[in-house]
Amino acid sequence: MLNSLFSPRGKQLFQEGLALSKLGRYEDAISFFDQALELSPNYPEAIVNKGKSLTNLGRYGEAIKCFDRTLDLSPRNVDAWFCKGLALFYQEKYDQAIYYFDNVISVYPDDVNTWLEKGSALFYQDKYEEAVSCFDRVISMDPGNETARCNREDAMAALEKKSLR
């Protein structure tokens, strides 16, 4: 699909953007994604990867615009759902983030990272029991997941503290 959407130069620019992003050079990556998008403005993969780089730079509003544009072009783009959920999470818009995490879970019910992020969003909303359920789900799928175990412990401690009030 990439070959049919980009000219050879556009494909090269896109691939360079991906490589720079993997190296943590997000500003440079964005520049390459923008150049690639000049050649093919409606390629969802390039738009979503630009959004990921923007997210990594803390530019959540711009990132969300990329994810929205991706979803306009590809409404069931699970990567855009997840990434938009993360950007909303970082903006502390937990209800909205959970909506997008739930979209991902509806397609990939065993996605460990999505359950982990949903549990964290619930935790920050003081919905500790629901958070524990999410972390338990992660642990049942990935018993060695230390993040889930630590997050579960934190949620249980918060739940216990809340019950003592």
Burial class of residue 81 in the structure, from the number of CB atoms within 10 Å of its CB (0-12 exposed, 13-18 middle, 19+ buried): buried
- Mean pLDDT value of segment 18-29: 98
- Mean pLDDT value of segment 23-32: 98
Here the tokens at position 78 are 């699970």
- Of the candidates 15, 13, 27, 94, the residue with the CA atom closest to the CA atom of residue 58: 27
- Mean pLDDT value of segment 57-82: 97
- Asked if residues 83 and 51 have their Cβ atoms less than 8 Å apart, the reply is yes
pLDDT digits (tens, 9 = 90+) for 134-149: 999 999 999 999 999 9
Answer whether residue 2 shows pLDDT above 80.
no
- Of the candidates 73, 111, 141, 41, the residue with the CA atom closest to the CA atom of residue 149: 141
Question: Tell me, what's the pLDDT at 61?
Answer: 98
- The percentage of the chain sitting over the pLDDT mark of 90, rounded to a whole number, equals 88
pTM of this structure: 0.92
